[in-house]
Structure 1
Amino acid sequence: MSTHRDEREFLLPDLGEGLTEAEIVRWLVEVGDEVAVDQAVVEVETAKAQVEVPCPFEGVVTARHGAEGEARPVGTPLIAVAVGGSAGGAAGRSSTGKPAGAPASSPAEDRYREAAGGSGNVLVGYGTGASKSAASGARRRRRALTAAGSAAGRGTTGPLDGHAPHGAVAPNPPTAFPADRAARPVVGGVTGASAAASIPSGAAADHEGTAHRAPVPVISPLVRRLARERGLDLRALHGSGPGGLILRADVDRAAAVRGGRTITADSGDSADSGGVPTTDGRAGQPAGVGADPTGAVRIPLRGITAAMADKLSRSRREIPDATCWVDADATELLAARRAMGEPTVSLLAVLARVTVAALARHPELNATVDTDAREIVRLPAVHLGFAAQTPRGLVVPVVRDAHTLSTEQLHREMSRLTACARDGRLTPADLTGSTFTLNNYGVFGVDGSTPIINHPEAAMLGVGRIVEKPWAHAGQLALRHVVQLSFTFDHRVCDGGVAGGFLRYVADCVERPTLLLRSL
């Protein structure tokens, strides 16, 4: 009996928040896999966050469009799915039992579109609850059998050749990496995600006879990115992790050996020592990274890095900012934090509570400027952003309604957001809508800074390191724990008197934490 399948293309959906493209971080399915409605098929990085994209169709994947690391515009194809058949005896029928060519979608697809507001294009962690709950569902893999004639035409190539004829899927290697993707560990908040085969940059896998390569034993998007930046072929590396898993240290070692360079495992920075040519013929530079004739390396601004660059540039162009600063004796604040007992509350959470109290006294700083209407807009709620450095760059997670939270509640929420930021699990909602930002640059071991305002906010409080210094205390010179506080503000919103009053109140609370009792 002939089998007919209605092939549909799933396009990169509208990502919202003014986003127009996304970079493919990792494929979660391969050609030949069966997918269910709402199943995540690809992990992408936008200018806001790293998210999974669920497919609105049910069927068999026949093509993947775009390589890992490639940026795809909204509205361009991601995958093609044959929705009229399945891997077993249900071939030729849809999930509803209708003929494969019937245009009607399955009830599951209809429910999906209804939940998504009719589009069916929602990112996991960004839209409907249905898409979020389906992200952790089991993924099914279809093994297409190769016809005897096709096998004979290929000769006696073994299962590790990494290729498959049209209509067949190359089997997984019998060693090194588990075949059951549902049993793989959680990495960055993504469960059951397979290490999809890499596709050469600029080439899209389709159903026109493109060969498919065996999976690479890598589950970390960071490891894949580092390998791309350094021009390394992951298939040529031997992993030191469990079951042959390729770790970041393996990439660092391979890059050092190949390029004759010293590479730090923490930062990925390198210093040329031998000038050994890389695969693209340029000495000391990873393949795939742009360079001009002078040897300068050109690194494209993408994703969160590009968004942050645009925001900071706009802040400098539009906001007439000014900065004031003060040194404060934080000895009593540290003692008060210790007195809170276990579990320990972070110092950043304590400073966040001080900041919220200061904004309650100076609400004109919790504002934004509407340049078109030429109005200052004072905001009723404090959505507190705090700067966090992650492997993917600087991000500013947002604590919603911070003015309603206690110090302990602020600690729990900031800890949750920080963990999500480091794992790349922040949603776009976690990164937007802040009204004021707290920047703790003391973690970098520096005393002071002049922060750039997080546009379109009106101010930012910066906190330096706390260090012992000689300090006049109770009429005597003593060693005290001193911190420098800096405050950058939009001079259109307030004058120096308001800014100075805000910063002085923060410093007073740092020096005498009992002042906070008035705001509780």
Structure 2
Amino acid sequence: MAQVLEFKLPDLGEGLTEAEIVRWLVEVGDVVAVDQPVVEVETAKAMVEVPCPYGGVVTARFGAEGTELPVGAPLLTVAVGEASEGRTGGGTGEGTDTADTADTADTADAGGSGAARGQGPDAEGSGNVLVGYGTSEAPARRRRVRQGETAPAAPPAPAASAARAVNGRLRTEEPADAHARTPGAADGPVPVISPLVRRLARQNGLDLREMTGSGPDGLILRADVEYALRAAAPSRTGATDGAPETRRVPADTTAPAVPTGTTAVTRVPLKGIRGAVADKLSRSRTEIPDATCWVDADATELMRARAAMNAAGGGPKISVLALLARICTAALARFPELNSSVDTGAREIVRYEGVHLGFAAQTDRGLVVPVVRDAHTRDAESLTAEFARLTEAARAGTLTPAELTGGTFTLNNYGVFGVDGSTPIINHPEAAMLGVGRIIPRPWVHEGELAVRQVVQLSFTFDHRVCDGGTAGGFLRYVADCVEQPAVLLRTL
């Protein structure tokens, strides 16, 4: 007897609550093996291939590419057992909901802490899904109804099950009289997946059945709801006295002013990595009282030292970023106050023993900050290799959440963009960031005479709660001294 098991979006770790489907790796009717990746999703931190803990035939997929799903929402269903060997996905390629197959096969829930077995009723699941997601316990079986018995009332279907998957696209099924419903009628299936969207509409008295979504196949997104609320605001402003307001628009949803003569606008949702960056930068500016100081430094000797290292051969070429990172770790050893964060709830400064050095990396998907673990224990060659590995993973979109979190200090080399200076925004919850501009020939007074030297501007932004200007200035001056005279580093090696 075949079982149809439902695989739900697992907990991806690091406090992530949702993910966007980037690319399906299987089709309805495909045979999958245990732990085979079935979908590629993008979280606010990275892109991840999600493996399926079951082996069998894919009978349904939930969510089109580009759709955001909350953790615990159904991803796909798999028919496992004897019947799955000869089962196909059907001539039309249409997926089958678990509700449709429940009359002929037992079903199991694979989401949250619930576990299911991967190959029949007596086999163990792989247990190899993602963080906080296991497959070790027996599945919950659906009770069959014998002839003559009254079937128990079916529980309400989850929001994500209100749409069938047809060739990987969501198709909303509404009753024929959906458009004839009157206000107050029972809610029917609507093309909405996110519970946040439903709550926002409900709190503001907005009927989702009257809306047309801008997402795939008419999926209603949060931006659609907020736009509808903003559009309704003027009509409420000019309402006559005594006319009841149907809903209230939150103060933070005011639409920005559109220039006169503009005929069209483009709205880009702040989601995925871009949304996560926006939230973190906004939180940094809101919570951290930051200050910035800067200094120009003669990097001629540093560049000569690097050229000598690379000319010696016998290993990979040492990068400028690696040398600057080595200088940063030496400076943090002298000024440990800056390798810290602030616990606002406890009103405490948390200082870290080791340096987990983040570095800003610009990618096609947005700005990310990979973290080099225990950077204070690495030499220039090791730092060069780790920077290269993490940069390549960032460009490929394969960084793991663990490689994007846990930093204690950030190094930002914006000189690669051809600019000299900046006032960096601190990577919350860290306490400081060093920015490095481009290194270019400039007139410089060297040994009492005007000369052309390789000059760089260093910008340092720090949390004024963890230290005062004297500490920040001392840190930046030590970094500049090491840049100008690399031999200063020998005292700390």
Which category describes the TM-score, using the shorter chain as reference length? 0.5 to 0.7
Q: Hey, what does 2:273 align to over in structure 1?
A: 304
Residue 455 in structure 1 maps to residue 428 in structure 2: yes
SS at match of 2:439: strand
> Is the 2:34–2:118 Cα contact (8 Å) retained in structure 1?
no
Task: Give the 5 Å matches for 1:28-427.
Answer: 28-85=25-82, 88=85, 105-106=117-118, 110=124, 112-113=126-127, 119-120=133-134, 199-200=168-169, 202-203=170-171, 294-341=263-310, 342=313, 343-427=316-400
> Is the 2:18–2:71 Cα contact (8 Å) retained in structure 1?
yes
Tell me how far apart the structure 2 counterparts of residues 22 and 116 of structure 1 sit (CA, whole Å). 13
Q: Hey, what does 1:489 align to over in structure 2?
A: 462
Q: Deviations over 1:12-66 (max 9, x none)?
A: 1112212111000000000111111111100000001000111111110001111
Residue 465 in structure 1 maps to residue 455 in structure 2: no
Q: CA deviation at 1:85?
A: 3.3
Tell me how far apart the structure 2 counterparts of residues 463 and 118 of structure 1 sit (CA, whole Å). 39
Tell me how far apart the structure 2 counterparts of residues 373 and 16 of structure 1 sit (CA, whole Å). 25
> Is the 2:441–2:455 Cα contact (8 Å) retained in structure 1?
yes
Tell me how far apart the structure 2 counterparts of residues 332 and 401 of structure 1 sit (CA, whole Å). 27
Distance 1:332 1:391, change over 3 A: same
> Is the 1:67–1:204 Cα contact (8 Å) retained in structure 2?
no
> Is the 2:27–2:167 Cα contact (8 Å) retained in structure 1?
no
Distance 1:118 1:473, change over 3 A: closer
Q: CA deviation at 1:110?
A: 2.2
> Is the 1:47–1:306 Cα contact (8 Å) retained in structure 2?
yes
Distance 1:60 1:508, change over 3 A: same
Which residue type is aligned with residue 498 of structure 1? T
Distance 1:414 1:203, change over 3 A: farther
SS at match of 2:421: coil
SS at match of 1:315: helix
Tell me how far apart the structure 1 counterparts of residues 86 and 406 of structure 2 sit (CA, whole Å). 51
Tell me how far apart the structure 2 counterparts of residues 71 and 296 of structure 1 sit (CA, whole Å). 23
> Is the 1:356–1:403 Cα contact (8 Å) retained in structure 2?
yes
Tell me how far apart the structure 1 counterparts of residues 27 and 335 of structure 2 sit (CA, whole Å). 55
Q: CA deviation at 1:199?
A: 4.4
Instruction: Identify the match of residue 440 of structure 1 among 405, 413, 421.
Output: 413
> Is the 1:34–1:86 Cα contact (8 Å) retained in structure 2?
no
Tell me how far apart the structure 2 counterparts of residues 76 and 411 of structure 1 sit (CA, whole Å). 41
Tell me how far apart the structure 1 counterparts of residues 480 and 348 of structure 2 sit (CA, whole Å). 30
Q: Deviations over 1:223-256 (max 9, x none)?
A: xxxxxxxx99xxxxxxxxxxxxxxxxxxxxxxxx
SS at match of 1:301: coil
Q: Deviations over 1:423-448 (max 9, x none)?
A: 01100000000000000000000000
Q: CA deviation at 1:120?
A: 2.8
> Is the 2:342–2:349 Cα contact (8 Å) retained in structure 1?
yes
> Is the 1:14–1:121 Cα contact (8 Å) retained in structure 2?
no
Tell me how far apart the structure 2 counterparts of residues 329 and 319 of structure 1 sit (CA, whole Å). 31
Q: TM-score, normalised by structure 2?
A: 0.67
Root-mean-square deviation (CA, aligned residues, Å) is 3.0
Between Structure 1 and Structure 2, whose CA radius of gyration is higher?
2
Residue 21 in structure 1 maps to residue 15 in structure 2: no
Identity, in percent, stands at 68
Distance 1:117 1:513, change over 3 A: closer
Q: Deviations over 1:195-229 (max 9, x none)?
A: xx9745x5489xxxxxxxxxxxxxxxxxxxxxxxx
Tell me how far apart the structure 1 counterparts of residues 263 and 12 of structure 2 sit (CA, whole Å). 39
Q: CA deviation at 1:294?
A: 4.7
> Is the 1:84–1:101 Cα contact (8 Å) retained in structure 2?
no
Tell me how far apart the structure 1 counterparts of residues 396 and 131 of structure 2 sit (CA, whole Å). 29
Tell me how far apart the structure 2 counterparts of residues 362 and 81 of structure 1 sit (CA, whole Å). 56
SS at match of 1:112: coil
SS at match of 2:124: helix
Distance 1:377 1:121, change over 3 A: farther
Distance 1:110 1:117, change over 3 A: farther
Q: CA deviation at 1:9?
A: 1.1
Which residue type is aligned with residue 21 of structure 2? I
Distance 1:479 1:203, change over 3 A: farther
Tell me how far apart the structure 2 counterparts of residues 120 and 454 of structure 1 sit (CA, whole Å). 33
SS at match of 2:337: helix
Tell me how far apart the structure 1 counterparts of residues 272 and 135 of structure 2 sit (CA, whole Å). 20
Residue 8 in structure 1 maps to residue 5 in structure 2: yes
> Is the 2:18–2:43 Cα contact (8 Å) retained in structure 1?
yes
Tell me how far apart the structure 1 counterparts of residues 294 and 107 of structure 2 sit (CA, whole Å). 69
Q: Hey, what does 2:229 align to over in structure 1?
A: none
Gaps of 5+ in 2: 89-103, 109-115, 137-165, 174-214, 217-257
Tell me how far apart the structure 2 counterparts of residues 203 and 17 of structure 1 sit (CA, whole Å). 32
Tell me how far apart the structure 2 counterparts of residues 307 and 517 of structure 1 sit (CA, whole Å). 40
SS at match of 1:508: helix
Q: Hey, what does 2:472 align to over in structure 1?
A: 499
Q: TM-score, normalised by structure 1?
A: 0.64
SS at match of 2:58: strand
Q: CA deviation at 1:296?
A: 1.8
Length, aligned pairs only? 355
Q: Deviations over 1:383-430 (max 9, x none)?
A: 000000001110000000101111110110110000000001100000
> Is the 2:19–2:71 Cα contact (8 Å) retained in structure 1?
yes
Tell me how far apart the structure 2 counterparts of residues 121 and 105 of structure 1 sit (CA, whole Å). 6
Q: CA deviation at 1:114?
A: 7.8
Tell me how far apart the structure 1 counterparts of residues 408 and 172 of structure 2 sit (CA, whole Å). 42
Gaps of 5+ in 1: 92-98, 123-196, 206-230, 233-291
Q: CA deviation at 1:379?
A: 0.7
Distance 1:369 1:448, change over 3 A: same
